[in-house]
């Protein structure tokens, strides 16, 4: 083999190796992004459950306030509260699921990070709103439950007692919200991170960590 032929052979071999390396990198990136999408599917399915439970909760609330004989009584007022709580669950579930569906996993990593941050924020707000509100929501839920199951208005014998209990629970919930707002306003990052971590969820944290690894891989 002549020297020119050997050079041309080496050039073609080097080009094929570069093409193969590029294909391997593209395959790794594609598999990594598929893994990110798979990682958020459980969270997306959870939003369907949240919507379904919210719809059931809203219907229970309607049954309570619609059937309550006293429009100023406990079952009527608590039925409206439970109904609103169910609607809030539906809205939060639909918003979070829509944000997840709006992520283009084939797009730029920076855009995915931005959209994932929106999902995280919506999920944290939903968790804090729906979860923390149970500091007070158990009261109207119990009143509605007793009314629908047994036809009993447990508020009627002592409205003032239930009012004070409800006020105490609402004050407790407000105190937690104020504490969180104070920590965020004063830069207490460890406290706010603890709140966010508690309401973010394992799936979302895992996907964010994988996305950070993917970003480093793309930079390298």
139, pLDDT greater than 60:
yes
What's the CA gap between 8 and 3, in Å, rounded?
9
Domain parsing of the chain, residue ranges: 36-219
| Residue 220: CB atoms within 10 Å | 6
pLDDT in tens, 168-181: 988 988 888 888 88
Model pTM? 0.79
Rounded to 5°, the CA angle 122-127-133 comes to 130
pLDDT in tens, 52-105: 999 999 999 999 998 887 777 889 999 999 999 999 999 999 999 999 888 887
Nearest Cα residue to 201 out of 44, 35, 91: 44
Token pair of 108 as six digits: 């730029």
């Amino acid at each position: 083999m002549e020297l020119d032929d050997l050079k041309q052979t080496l050039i073609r071999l080097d080009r094929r190796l570069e093409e193969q390396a590029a294909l391997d990198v593209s395959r790794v990136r594609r598999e990594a992004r598929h893994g990110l999408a798979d990682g958020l599917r459980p969270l997306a399915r959870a939003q369907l459950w949240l919507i379904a439970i919210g719809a059931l909760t809203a219907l229970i609330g309607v049954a309570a306030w619609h059937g309550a004989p006293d429009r100023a009584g406990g079952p009527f007022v608590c039925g409206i509260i439970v109904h609103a709580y169910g609607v809030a669950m539906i809205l939060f579930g639909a918003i979070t699921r829509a944000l997840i569906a709006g992520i283009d996993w084939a797009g730029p990593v920076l855009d995915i990070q931005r959209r994932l941050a929106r999902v995280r924020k919506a999920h944290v707000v939903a968790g804090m709103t729906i979860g923390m509100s149970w500091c007070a929501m158990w009261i109207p839920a119990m009143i509605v439950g007793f009314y629908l199951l047994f036809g009993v208005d447990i508020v009627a014998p002592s409205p003032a007692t239930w009012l004070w209990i409800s006020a105490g629970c609402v004050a407790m919930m407000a105190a937690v919200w104020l504490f969180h707002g104070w920590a965020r306003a004063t830069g207490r990052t460890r406290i706010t991170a603890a709140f966010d971590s508690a309401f973010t969820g394992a799936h979302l944290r895992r996907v964010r960590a994988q996305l950070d690894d993917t970003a480093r891989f793309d930079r390298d």
